[in-house]
Chains A and B, each alone.
Chain A
């Protein structure tokens, strides 16, 4: 597994999302050459749902393109079937570069509620592809 790049805003945003989702106030990571401290403001804290609200999403996240290329949805049967539940390791789409298909992994378990890029569209690194509702 490659090391996380803590100078990358996308990495920090993903970590912040995870903290919010988990209701954690802060996180400190120290590596031999980096020290990162993330503090979630009170307004960004996740709400612990009551029983009545247990089906409500606590937050949303986007699945982003891992590389520049042409966007393709995962298996035809899944196309435009929203919402649909996915696991964190589910392949939700592909980025095509020539004959190579790079899988797009959901990254988070939740409910895919929408598609943000058109089929066969040219997308750049980090462009949003799907919306996922996260449940606690």
Chain B
């Protein structure tokens, strides 16, 4: 594992992990390796979590309902105060991209392991984010970098200029919510009215924007790592096109079939954008990629679920690097030092009904994981673990690394075959079948491929 970040006095020696599940266990491991103490928080539903046994302090902060525990800012800040934690790591989801929480943590005299409130707010507002990206030279989807006016005739003219199909999006939306595709002019007015109302209700802002709708794009990401002294690098790219209802199922690094000379300028532009906004910590720039061109869609100002595939190819422990950055340490890693080798896949193993894909709650009666070179399991479950109905259905991430994409696929096929989770229903059969698919093996499938493949697979 590369260790290119210099040693300095720590600002904190105890980290409160404001999350649950596999990412809580992952962050705890990184802290321990850095010699930091940890405080694990839990809801009443997670009292038996395995990472509660290995943490220095475990504190229940609220009932099972996430709004009263993992999303309860006051309870988490109180837990930090009671336990003497000097920093809070938000993980992903929950409060990880909440600008007000980042600000509240810092106002309480603690370190937020993530970007400052201003960066989170800028990137959370899709219009402000796009404007920042254009200023930094990051390629964006055709469309204005301002909110749509109220006047429907003006909106029709803007859509004509972009060219149909277009997509109407809520400025405060994300994750596939608050957006509508319009294929012809006659459907535009209704789509704008509906999306505006949806945005008002769901995100508290009626601001909308419009972009060209790409028909067969791939989802490509660029991972960045920044310190608080203006140093930043990008750590290669990932392909996360295997999605179902905007939820990633399989991720890989590097993205297959994209030449280095095409993506390098994009990566460098991402680094420049980070320096422009004074970004700190880790972040991910998400792009749509179609016909050799990249189009920025959003930046995730946090650790990603799929960060392990980049760790496997770059050899850099992203979570440790993130914590060191929050400690104020200088990033000594330079861009030329970042060398990605081999190929990595990650499968998200979800507790879900194999027919309906609905989350599946129950007790894991037995579990066995594959072992061997180039295989990594990030999980919090064990024999006897009760999968709760209160939270998302991710129970494990199976990650493999091998010299080539073909070898990595073969390794994943074997690893999946050796994975057994009994007592609950999971998506393992789906993952096993997907890794036998010829088009996926070929690579470069688009973001719609999995939905189409699933239709055929379920019919068979």
Interface residues of A (CB under 8 A from B): 5, 7-11, 67-70, 97-98, 122, 124-127
The answer to whether A124 touches B60, judged by C-beta atoms less than 8 angstroms apart, is yes
Minimum Cβ distance to chain B for residue A66 (Å): 11
Majority SS of interface residues in chain A?
Answer: loop
B residues in contact with A70, CB < 8 Å: 82
- Write the nearest CB–CB distance from A8 to chain B, whole angstroms: 4
Given A68-B78, A97-B82, A122-B83, residue A7 in contact with residue B390 (CB < 8 A):
yes
B-to-A contact residues, CB < 8 Å: 42, 44-45, 57-65, 68-69, 75, 78-79, 81-83, 390
Contact assessment for B45 and A125 in the assembled complex, using a CB-CB cutoff below 8 Å? no
Considering the complex, give the chain A residue whose CB is closest to the CB of B42: A124
The residue among B57, B64, B69 with the most chain A CB atoms within 10 A of its own CB is B64
Q: Which 5 A-B pairs have the closest CB atoms?
A: A124-B60, A8-B63, A124-B59, A125-B60, A126-B44
Given contacts A9-B64, A68-B82, A122-B57, 20 further A-B contacts (CB under 8 A): A5-B63, A5-B68, A7-B63, A8-B68, A9-B44, A10-B63, A67-B75, A68-B78, A70-B82, A97-B78, A98-B81, A122-B59, A122-B82, A122-B83, A124-B42, A124-B60, A125-B63, A125-B69, A125-B75, A126-B60
Nearest CB of A to B24, in Å:
15
Provide 14 A-B residue pairs closer than 8 Å at the C-beta atoms, listed in order of the A residue.
A5-B68, A8-B63, A8-B64, A9-B45, A10-B44, A67-B75, A68-B60, A98-B81, A122-B82, A124-B59, A125-B75, A126-B60, A126-B63, A127-B60
Contact yes or no, B61 A125, CB < 8 A: yes
* Complex contact A69–B82 (CB within 8 A): yes
The complex places the Cα of A97 from the Cα of B61 at a distance, in Å, of 13
**In the bound complex, CA of A125 to CA of B62 (Å):** 5
Interface of B is mostly: mixed
Residues of A within 8 A of B44 (CB): 8-10, 125-126
**Cβ distance B42 to chain A, nearest Cβ, rounded Å:** 8
List the B residue with the shortest CB-CB distance to A6. B65
Q: How many Å lie between the Cα of A8 and that of B64 in the bound state? A: 6
Q: Which residue of B lies closest to A98 (CB)?
A: B81
How far, in angstroms, from A122 to B63 measured CA to CA in the complex?
A: 17
* Interface core residue of A5, A97, A126 (most chain B CB under 10 Å): A126
B76 (CB) vs chain A CBs: closest residue: A68
- Shortest beta-carbon distance from A112 to chain B in Å: 22
CB distance from A96 to the nearest CB of B (A): 10
A68 to B79, CA, bound (A): 7
Shortest distance from the beta carbon of B201 to any chain A beta carbon, whole Å: 16
State the CA gap A7–B68 with chains docked (Å).
11
Q: Which of A5, A67, A68, A122 has the most CB of B within 10 A?
A: A68
Which residues of B lie under 8 Å from residue A97 when comparing CB positions?
A: 78, 81-82
Taking the closest CB of chain B, its distance from the CB of A95, in whole angstroms, is 10
- Which chain B residues border A125 with CB–CB below 8 Å? 44, 60-63, 69, 75
A-side contacts of B75, CB under 8 Å? 67-68, 125
Give B81 Cβ to nearest chain A Cβ, in Å. Answer: 8
Cα–Cα, bound, A97→B65 (Å): 23
Tell me the smallest distance from the CB of B39 to a CB of chain A, in Å: 10
Bound Cα distance from A98 to B61, whole angstroms:
16
In the complex, which residues of chain B have a beta carbon less than 8 angstroms from the beta carbon of A69?
A: 78, 82
Q: A70-B82, A125-B44, A126-B44 are in contact. Are A9 and B63 (CB under 8 A)?
A: yes
Cβ–Cβ contact B79 & A5, under 8 A: no
Cα-based distance from A67 to B78 in the complex (angstroms)? 10
- Chain B residue nearest to A8 (CB atoms) is B63
B32 to chain A, nearest CB (A): 21
In the complex, what distance in Å separates the CA atom of A5 from the CA atom of B78? Answer: 22
The complex places the Cα of A97 from the Cα of B74 at a distance, in Å, of: 12
User: Is A68 a contact of B63 with CB atoms below 8 Å?
Assistant: no
